[in-house]
Structure 1
Amino acid sequence: MESLFGYKLENLSFDETKKKIIEFINEDKKAIITPINPEKIMRSFKDDKLKEILLNSNLLLPDGYGIIFASKILKIHIKERITGIDMFEALLDYANENNLSIYFLGTQDEILEKVIERIEKEYPGIEIAGYHNGFFKEENEVLEDLKDKKFDILFVAMGSPKQEYFIYDNFDKIDAKIFMGVGGSFDVFSGKFKRAPNLIRKLGLEWLYRFILEPRKRFPRVIQLFNFMILVFKERFKFGKS
């Protein structure tokens, strides 16, 4: 177990991480899976609730190249980057092969409908326990639907920290095993947005690719990324002095 600014990261490969999540399912254990990136870490320094969520998640996924970069600078052992979208799709494959039930919560209706259409077409083994957009005014309206059902996985795509808040606040109220915030995964899975080409991802430049496509939306995140890098080098310098 490795620690990055107080947050515990297991030194696992993608396949080992997937296996651990499957063990939670097979052992009937409830678990919160949270992809973590520089933006979430920086926000958590000022957001006590998000900090508590990250500290109490059953498994943090090293999402975002900034996490891998930090691990190299600070000599923390992390085998590889594990993105939320990649794990989302891997768990869909497993659910399809093992007839698991999933509830999809988040994004806009038109995008969510495309997600469900693709699931029904390409993953016939998945039982769709239900789905609801992420723009509800009253939490109780969707919570009642969730509480009435029992299923294996809840994917929540409402953006951070809203999705993390929802999962943490309702963890004990919902009869599911895996609770995972997946950010923009529904948007990518539906075809609304394309992922960066493989070469760009391998070079760790997916953040730059996204910034070029959506400069206004991504600018605050890029600032947070650079602030995170500054913090990483300060931490490295501190270790070097000791």
Structure 2
Amino acid sequence: MKKETYLGVNVSALPEQAMLEVIKSRVQSGEQSTVIAVNPEKFIASQSNETLKRLINHSTFQIPDGIGVILASRLKGGTIRSRITGVDFMQKLLKLATIEGYNVFFYGAKEEVVSKAVKSAEDTYPGIQIVGYENGYYNDEDALIKRINELKSDMLFVAMGSPKQELWIERNMSRLNVKVFQGVGGSFDVLAGHVKRAPVFYQKLGLEWLYRLMKEPKRWKRQLALPKFLLKIIFNK
């Protein structure tokens, strides 16, 4: 599958719809797929965290979550032109699951959050088969694996924060019959209505980071990852 590599980190260069078609094909052939969102913050963190870099590069799909990734691709003559956020791709997968009849399982976050996220998904995608869910404070991993398999889950969304959720997926995917795994971070909070996304205007311009910064000025240190990333891209031969 088409990839671009920046600072030693892979990012998928397929358009969103093409990725969904590949995922559908892989499910039909019984192959497992993993999805991880990559943004400038993760690129910078991976420079000093080999575990994170391995988790990203070993994923099947590394979706370009952040305007910085688009700018990097433009600067280096790549073809990535569309930003794909983790929560947006999760929703596209939920739609695909509804159409294809895939069984879905949610794991992670607080009980009140994950239960509301499930209800929201069921309201948004009538007919979707969400066969089960569990909050992130459930500690019997073996019992959870058994339950997910018994429910014949095809898609599993794990909300634990990165890289904890990716480590959980890596550790357990060989024991699971699930075909599509995505670590979704705070996406359950968005679906549950506990966290509001930036207005569509900011989303379309790739400026959600600016909106969040205006709402939470204390995030300014995290937002420094964007200029750091772009400077590294510019001066990296």
> Normalized against structure 1, the TM-score is what?
0.88
Match of 2:175 among 158, 173, 176: 173
Whole-Å Cα distance in 2 between the matches of residues 88 and 229 of structure 1?
27
Residue of structure 2 in register with 1:182 after alignment: 184
What residue in structure 1 maps to residue 35 of structure 2? 33
| Residue aligned with 2:79, SS | coil
Q: Is the 8 A contact 2:6 2:233 kept in 1?
A: no
Alpha-carbon distance, 1:92 to partner: 1.0
The yes-or-no answer on 1:21 pairing with 2:12 is no
Shift of 1:89: 0.9
**Equivalent pair of 2:149/2:178 in contact (CA under 8 Å):** no
Distance 2:194 2:35 in 1: 24
Do the aligned partners of 2:40 and 2:68 also contact (CA within 8 Å) in 1? Answer: yes
Unaligned runs of 5+ in 2: none
Show the counterpart of 2:225: 224
What secondary structure, in the 3-state scheme, does the structure 2 residue paired with 1:3 have?
strand
Deviates further, 5-14 or 94-103 = 5-14
Structure 1 residue 141 displacement after superposition:
5.3
When the two structures are aligned, how many residues end up with a matched partner? 235
CA apart distance, 1:110:
0.9
After TM superposition, list the pairs within 5 Å mapping 1:1-242 onto structure 2: 1=2, 2-137=4-139, 139-140=141-142, 142-216=144-218, 218-235=219-236, 239=237
SS in 1 for 2:51: helix
Counterpart Cα distance in 1 of 2:173 and 2:10: 20
Determine if contact 1:12/1:79 at 8 Å carries over to the other structure.
no
Distance of 1:7 and 1:35 partners within structure 2:
12
Q: Which amino acid aligns with 1:194?
A: K
- CA distance, structure 1, for counterparts of residue 164 and residue 135 of structure 2: 13
Note the residue ranges of structure 1 that are not aligned, 5 or more in a row: none
Rounded to whole Å, the distance in 2 between the matches of 1:213 and 1:132 is 31
Give the RMSD, CA atoms, in angstroms. 1.9
Supply the distance in 1 between the matched residues of 2:80 and 2:135 (Cα, whole angstroms): 34
- Structure 1 runs (4+) deviating above 6 angstroms are none
How many angstroms apart in 2 are the aligned matches of 1:43 and 1:148?
Answer: 37
- How far apart are the structure 1 equivalents of 2:90 and 2:33? 15
| Amino-acid identity (%) | 37
Does the residue aligned with 1:24 lie in a helix, a strand or coil? helix
- Counterpart CA distance in 1 for 2:187 and 2:78 is 27
Q: What amino acid is aligned across from residue 226 of structure 1 in structure 2?
A: P
Q: Is the 8 A contact 2:7 2:47 kept in 1?
A: no
Structure 2: how far apart are the matches of 1:109 and 1:123? Answer: 21
Q: Name the SS for the 1:194 alignment partner.
A: coil
Provide the C-alpha distance between the structure 2 equivalents of 1:138 and 1:220, rounded to a whole number of angstroms: 36
SS in 2 for 1:119: helix
Secondary structure (helix, strand or coil) at the match of 2:175 reads coil
Structure 2 contact 159–185 (Cα < 8 Å) conserved: yes
CA shift at 1:221, angstroms? Answer: 2.1
TM-score (norm 2): 0.90
1:121 and 1:10, CA in 2 relative to 1: closer, same or farther beyond 3 A? Answer: closer
Superposition deviation, residue 139 in structure 1:
4.2
